[in-house]
Structure 1
Amino acid sequence: MGRAAAERAGADSRRNGGSQGHLSLPVPLLDRLDRELGEGAGLVAIFDYDGTLTPLVSTPEAAVLAPSVRATLARLARSERVRLAILSGRGLSDLKARVALNDVVYGGCHGLEIAGRDLRFRHPRARAADIAATRRELADALPAVPGARLEYKGLAVTLHYRGVRPERWSRVQEIASSVLRRRRTVTVIQGHRIFDFMPRVGWNKGQAARWMVRRMASTLPRGRVVVLYAGDDNTDETAFAALRHRALTIRVGATPTAAQYSVQGVRDVQALLRRMASALAA
């Protein structure tokens, strides 16, 4: 599909609220996908969940995958030429329940746990006991910060502070730093108004994405494989860097990034999913 078709796709995205008055889906990205998929290439695609497949919301429970997005993901996952994965900071069981699709590889807790399509991984040095102790310390400190809440995920515990007044954010930082100093076996990853406490095992989305890409690509028919990774958070920057010479990388949102391309929002990602599904069906 050429530039004129890409511009029409951009117009569709604008009508659906995906951009702010100009073409948001990069034409070079669309042209590359159309060409490669049109010539029969396989596709390995990895997406973050919150802020990429679903809008960012005030509480984790409210991030519900739209039925139309699930339908497009299902259409992609059913293709023999596609290996689809969702890689998130969410717990593995929570992520699987929210997406609720077979033939998808799920990576929870930033890839500390991976399951799907006969793949299974749990980082051998990740100890749930360390996270349980961290959870208890955080819970003891939270009454000092109204609006903060904890989300326990087995191999990680997340301190959410979207509901905290801005003048109290420094107190949240102090609590996180204090717990981290006492817990030498735990590290923290900072995201959108969250602190993710995880086992200190030298693992991140970048390493998890490489692991997933190698194994998913090996199950595709022999031939050319296009790899795509899309995410909206600073935690996704490790994946953009790790896949720099291997994948088409996309940052969601207007933020400086190591990704090759940027799109404005979730609706642009949805338009991209539809575009890929159509290209594979052509």
Structure 2
Amino acid sequence: MTSADQAIGRLAQSDLLLVALDFDGTLSPLEDEPMDARMLPAARNAVDALVATPDTIVAFVSGRSLVDLRVIAEHDDASRELLAGSHGAEFWIPGEGIASHGDDEADVTLRDALRGHAEAATAHLEGVWIEPKTFGFGVHTRRASADAAAEANRLVDAIVAAEAPHWRRRTGHNIVEFAFRHEGKDSAIAELRERVGATAVLFAGDDVTDEDALASLGDGDLGVRVGDGPTSATIRVADIAALAELLERLAAERSRARG
């Protein structure tokens, strides 16, 4: 793997840098109650430093629906970070607001029906929660026993296989997500790169769904894996605090180079 010092030095020279960051597990600890997630203070400070850095654009790229991402990121209409929610099926752009790829009425009707079926099928399983999402739903099992989690996933997998076999299935930390949209974090990064005209991209993430984006990066980009697990990332950091330190160093180096 490339050393962090080499990577930071290279990105510091980029004409226009896009820093795209997953949220849960990357900037915020994973929470039993997902809506309790908030950036650690060190991560918030690093993001603020990057936002203030010349020729640098920051984006949060998440599987969360856009409305929930704005809540947990404490993001309002004056915020300067771009957002990609629902794995890149909906965006929030400073000065423009929401930019969604839209959906079909039949897809929404099926979404609501399947979510209801999933809720009914798993209602007896303690610790299992079905999370509504813009383009589907998620099966949360963080607070469930291993047996209850396995049963919940078996039941919902069967429902979706029978009623919507064309839907996309994703796994993450104690969650299985189903969606009628097939965008991924790789397409989100590509769309953000094109939209802002970035000459280089840093993407950081901690989960399986982040690997699509990490694998899509080019030679002049930087992928950062937070924590353990197989990865296509260029470098790995131990935890959120270590990522925050890397981002602070990047902001300082880039400010010197671009100031």
Please classify the TM superposition score into its range, dividing by the shorter chain length.
Answer: 0.7 to 0.9
1:1-282 equivalences under 5 Å are 28-37=3-12, 39=13, 41-101=15-75, 102-117=79-94, 118=96, 120-125=98-103, 127-184=107-164, 185-199=166-180, 201-217=181-197, 225-282=199-256
SS at match of 1:144: coil
Deviations 1:40-92 (A, max 9, x none): 63311100000000112222022112344323312322334111110011110
TM-score of the aligned structures, taking structure 2 as reference length: 0.87
The answer to whether the Cα contact below 8 Å between 1:180 and 1:187 also exists between their aligned partners in 2 is no
In structure 1, how many angstroms separate the alpha carbons of the residues matched to 2:108 and 2:54? 36
Deviates more, 1:159-168 or 1:242-251: 242-251
Deviates more, 1:46-55 or 1:90-99: 90-99
Deviates more, 1:175-184 or 1:119-128: 119-128
The structural deviation recorded for 1:264 is 1.3
Amino acid at match of 1:115: W
- The 3 A distance-change label for structure 1 pair 79 and 175 is same
- The 3 A distance-change label for structure 1 pair 269 and 198 is same
TM-score of the aligned structures, taking structure 1 as reference length: 0.81
In structure 2, how many angstroms separate the alpha carbons of the residues matched to 1:204 and 1:194? 16
Runs of 4+ in 1 over 4 A off after TM superposition: none
Aligned length: 249
The structural deviation recorded for 1:217 is 2.3
The answer to whether the Cα contact below 8 Å between 2:54 and 2:255 also exists between their aligned partners in 1 is no
The answer to whether the Cα contact below 8 Å between 2:172 and 2:209 also exists between their aligned partners in 1 is yes
The structural deviation recorded for 1:167 is 2.4
> Any unmatched runs of 5+ in structure 1?
1-25, 219-224
